[in-house]
Amino acid sequence: MSTYLFVIFISFIINFLLIVPFINFLYKKKFQRANQQTRDAFNKPTPIFDKFHQHKKGTPVGGGILLAFTTVFLFFAFLFLYFIFDKEIISNYPSVIAEIKILIFTFLSFGFLGIYDDLNKIFLWQKSQFFGLRLRHKLIIEIFLAVIISYWLFSDLKIDIIHIPFIGVFQIAWFYILFSSFVIVAFANAVNVTDGLDGLASGVLLFALSSFWVVSRTILDVPTSLFIATWLGGLIAFLYFNTYPARIFLGDTGALSFGATFAVVGLILGKAFALPIIGGVFVIEITSSLIQLLSKKYLKRKIFPVAPLHLYLQLKGWEEPKIVMRFWIIAILFAVFGLMVAFGK
């Protein structure tokens, strides 16, 4: 346990020292939230969102870029130290390399997709240009990446079961690829939707990911435990600068990458059923947004005055820090309850 706590601490220190120079670099390169009016999935103006977020225009976007780089670099550095000191890297799967490959590929591939999306929003490229990805194009790429990852989970790690606590284990064979692909895409977008208030997504993810770290330590899976510990240290450092009023935003780079990887961690740990509970806040946020999206498309009217839920609470008069703090409390409760479910027989 002390080894992983050391990893968290070192990761925190390194990210904390790097983040201020990185913020200055983003200002210099004008990698900031655009001052123009934002638009929804149907390319229509979002006046309510703009009303509550106008003061955030110009804040650097791209915290996910730094965290992705430092997490991957430090993860491999710590693995190298394991090798140097001849410490055994125990895995619950046939191949340690395959487990590491899946984690890193998910983390980076969805991160690169997020970079494209961030660049499009910041520099406002036209949709006719290469970088101007439409919503459906972005979703197709997400599904493509998720299927690759799911196939590796199925073929390399031999995962083809779903454990439902207190009921039993069900083998679903190749249907697992479809199931896990849906889960990965869903959580990638859920974290992205939740990343709308200062410290909201990063704080909720910190609590949810901590639960999975407990699970990984319980089953003694070194690669996933080490990866989560490295990731947690960076998240803590980032959250220090992301709390209200935020000095830096996660951006789609971090939101898509972190959401997809959070889902993959849950799948690798065999806790697919506990995943939507531990990540309950993300599920609530994406569900409210999805209901609104479908109602506007097919019913031609809004179910809610505005979505997702955190934006609706702002519209009702709740102050931003109040919403974030209460969502954090709810996230802690979901994380605790999710652990109870995860350890259920």
Q: Give the tens place of pLDDT for each residue, 105-116.
A: 999 999 999 887
- Dihedral sign (CA 54, 58, 59, 62): positive
Q: Are 162 and 179 in contact (CB under 8 A)?
A: yes
Looking at residue 126, what is its pLDDT?
A: 46
Domain containing 224: what range? Answer: 2-342
Q: What is the CA radius of gyration of the chain?
A: 20
pLDDT in tens, 256-313: 999 999 999 999 999 999 999 999 999 999 999 999 988 988 888 888 888 899 999 9
Q: Predicted confidence band at 124 (pLDDT cuts at 50, 70, 90)?
A: low
pLDDT in tens, 150-204: 999 999 999 998 888 778 788 899 999 999 999 999 999 999 999 989 999 999 9
* Span 46-52, average pLDDT: 66
Phi, psi of 49 (to 5 degrees): -60, -45
Looking at residue 185, what is its pLDDT?
A: 97
Q: Are 142 and 253 in contact (CB under 8 A)?
A: no
Q: Are 254 and 112 in contact (CB under 8 A)?
A: no
- Dihedral sign (CA 151, 178, 235, 216): negative
Looking at residue 39, what is its pLDDT?
A: 55
120 is in an annotated binding site: no
Total domain count, the chain: 1
Determine the Cα–Cα distance for residues 216 and 269; give it in Å rounded to an integer. Answer: 7
Query: What's the whole-model pTM score?
Result: 0.93
Asked if residue 242 has pLDDT above 50, the reply is yes
Determine the Cα–Cα distance for residues 74 and 16; give it in Å rounded to an integer. Answer: 14
35 is in an annotated binding site: no
